[in-house]
Amino acid sequence: MKKPSVLKSILLMVFMGINTMAFSQTTGSYDTTVTFLGASRAMSFYVPPTYDSTLKYRLIVGLHGLGDNSSNYRNALVSGLGWAASIPNTIFICPEAATVNSDYYYPAGNEAIIQSAIDLAMQKYHIDTNNVVLQGFSLGGRAALRYGLDNYAKFKGLLLNTPAIQGVKNAINGLPAYSFNYANGVHIPIYITHGMNDIIYKAPLDSAYEQLIINNSKVRYYEFPGLGHTIPPIASIVNFIPFFDTPATHGYDLDVVKPIITQRSCVTSVPASCLIRNTGSSTIHSANLQYTVAGVPLNYVWTGSLTSFQHAVVSLPTLTAPVGNDTLDVKVTMLDTTVADTITFNNEKKVPFQVKTTGVALPLTEGFEGVFPPVDWIQYLAGDAYSPWAADSTTFKTGIASMGTFNTILIFDNSGRKEDIASPLLDLTSIANPYLTFDVAYNYHHYAPPVTTIDTIFADTLEVLISTDCGATYTSLYKKGGTQLATFASPILNPTSIAADFIVPADSNWRTEGIDLSAYSTDNKAIVKFSYISALGGSINIDNVKFRGNPVKTEQLQLLHAGNVFPNPANDHVLVTAGNSVLDHIAIVDMTGKTVMLVNCEQGRTEMQVNIASLIEGVYILLAYTDHGIEHSRMVISR
């Protein structure tokens, strides 16, 4: 009768789908299959030709990326990238994902193929059970991070070559169906590489790295200039082997991770802090931090206790910063009073910030024609590289550019995340009846058969908010999305490429929106923020943001001069002329005093045709704002 332990091992191998027949100890590169979840699954091996069964070998389990397979990936690692020659005494096994277009976690339960690969390798070869490395590239790297954190006791370390974390939302565990147990990073060394030309994955990786740091993980993160979405040369990363043996740098090493400061302050006394961590083997009890503002170096001594890979957020003395744009520069100069930190590549970090104490006088116009963000505007980034507001020189109402952004189901799930850009500090007391206008062009996405089985709409939202406490809190002034925001008659139907996600607006696809700011006319330090909220579908452009005087009320009209409108009575269009004056914008007001239409005029125009087809029949006042003042006309719409 078999011993219970032997029977248990046999049953386990049958359950995991591994054939229990004896294997010959094949060397070199070869492929085999196992039965896994009732189906045949490929396993691709590389075994050194000099394999000696009396010796123990390192095992690297490699997880391939999207569109690849186990055989190609094994060949790329051991031959194309030279890992077999550079990493001696190592056996490689690459299990195949359920399909070439699947993550290892899809369908549910398929991640167990990783354990099957380990079991198979250990059954066939003499593996050092204390020296199993889980490696992955792209989506395979993301799966390796998740699986390795959940099963850290199985591995010597995690080698992640550009793990394709699907956006910042995924990195900060905003996708519950695919989360990372960052707290387990204290138990296992993690070595991450990323090519700096691989822009789309930088923000997700930076965010995941910070999550690992604040969980005191044993993590190293290396970025490679000039490298795209690929694995670095083995000569550049082979130091992962000694790192897995001894993660901490010998002796003293403090990592200045990042300074922390508000992007904009409305007073010159500015609080600041800094995230640090100990990446050395010696416990740190004090750190001399030099922080520089306006070119003046100051010193602060932090005291406490940081063991290897522990982090701390150090509160710096409140800064006294001059008005204008500045940089907070923090670096470590000395540890434990007398010890110099000789590992210098991580000793210093910088971050920009702004101090403004006086609001800009109105009127103020921004057409996004120059640098972006414009001078004294502040951009608050949600993280992902493709979604922030940016200058758009291909789409504009007037001039040569506007600002635009978009969201799509074709990249990452960033639903609910906001891309914000805030105006300069505004003095709303500087003009009577302050008013905001802007031109907008927007459309949303609609998926319908045959692309999808059911109709689905993805529609982002634009919100405009105001703050009177330097951005600490905001009040919503305007919020539109979907059909309410759209300036096109029909949505973007079934976009299946990034190029198809964008709008190409004609002049008629722009609409001027107006927001009354008179309720804040006593505030001399107001901030207006444009917030674009993702629902995974939409393309938007904004042009000609203008802070100026409000269109006058009907009881004031007798003080103004008459303008010219033709024809009058009008039907669907009117031509507004201003004589020798230059038009800025046109407002149409109904007889209750409500502004029912706003139109920004192209620069230098002395006449403008206005489409009034959306207005009902009746009597209106048309106000033409020009460089010589405001002209008005009584306009009748009759059809």
| 103-119: average pLDDT | 96
| 92 within 8 A of 73, measured Cβ to Cβ | no
Q: Are residues 513 and 562 in the same domain?
A: no
pLDDT band for position 24 (cuts 50, 70, 90): low
- 219 and 258 in a single domain? The answer is no
The answer to whether 195 touches 165, Cβ cutoff 8 Å, is no
Is residue 21 over pLDDT 80?
A: no
CB atoms within 10 A of CB 295: 9
Element (H, E) at 332: strand 324-335
Are 211 and 285 in a shared domain?
no
Q: How confident is the model at residue 563 (pLDDT cuts 50, 70, 90)?
A: low
Mean pLDDT, residues 217-238 = 97
Look up the pTM and report it: 0.85
Count the neighbouring beta carbons within 10 Å of the beta carbon of residue 626.
19
Residue 524 sits in the same domain as residue 562:
no
Residue 632 banded pLDDT, cuts 50, 70, 90:
confident
pLDDT digits (tens, 9 = 90+) for 271-298: 999 999 999 999 999 999 999 999 999 9
d(CA 159, CA 144): 8
Smallest CA-to-CA distance from 405 within 427, 416, 420 is with 420
For 399, phi then psi, to 5°, come to: 70, -140
Q: Are residues 89 and 223 in the same domain?
A: yes
Q: Rounded mean pLDDT of 317-325?
A: 95
Helix (H, G, I), strand (E, B) or coil at 149: helix
- In a shared domain, residues 311 and 279: yes
Distance between CA atoms of residues 327 and 352, nearest Å: 4
477: which 2 tokens?
């002034």
Q: Exposed/middle/buried for 479, CB within 10 Å: 0-12, 13-18, 19+? A: middle
Q: Are residues 137 and 191 in the same domain?
A: yes
CATH code of the domain containing 443: 2.60.120.200
- Clarify whether residues 406 and 463 are in a common domain: yes
pLDDT at position 11 is 36
Confidence of residue 552 (pLDDT cuts 50, 70, 90): low
pLDDT tier, 553 (very low <50, low <70, confident <90, very high otherwise)? very low
Confirm if 397 and 544 have CB atoms less than 8 A apart.
yes
Nearest CA to 275 among 235, 307, 302?
302
Q: What is the pLDDT at residue 591?
A: 81
Range of the domain at 203: 4-245
How much is the pLDDT for 53?
Answer: 95
Mean pLDDT of 390-396: 97
Domain boundary among 190, 223, 245: 245
pLDDT above 50 (res 10): no
346 and 461, same domain (yes or no): no
pLDDT band for position 580 (50/70/90)?
A: confident
How much of the chain exceeds pLDDT 90, in percent?
82
Query: In which residue are the tokens 């048309």 written?
Result: 622
Specify the 3-state DSSP secondary structure of 154.
helix
What does the block give as tokens for 176? 């519950």
End-to-end CA distance of the chain: give it in Å, rounded.
100
Domain end, chosen from 332, 355, 378, is at 355
* Residue that is last in its domain, among 355, 377, 397: 355
Q: Are residues 40 and 108 in the same domain?
A: yes
Compute φ and ψ for 46, nearest 5 degrees: -135, 125
- The CATH number linked to 578 is 2.60.40.1220
In this prediction, residue 500 carries a pLDDT of: 97
Residue 93 has pLDDT above 90, yes or no: yes
Once rounded to an integer, what is the mean pLDDT over residues 36-61?
A: 96
**333-360 per-position pLDDT tens digit:** 999 999 999 899 999 999 999 999 999 9
Does pLDDT of 476 surpass 60? yes
CATH of the domain at 45: 3.40.50.1820
- Residues 207, 307 within the same domain: no
CATH number at residue 296: 2.60.40.10
Return the axis-axis angle of helices 113-124 and 4-15, rounded to nearest 10°: 130
What's residue 210's pLDDT?
98
User: Token pair 């193929």 is at which residue?
Assistant: 113
User: Is 432's pLDDT higher than 70?
Assistant: yes
Tell me 76's DSSP state.
I
- Give the pLDDT band (50/70/90) at residue 9: very low
CA angle 465, 466, 470 (to 5 degrees): 130
Same domain, residue pair 372 and 505: yes
Total domains in the chain come to: 4
Share of the chain above pLDDT 70, in %: 94
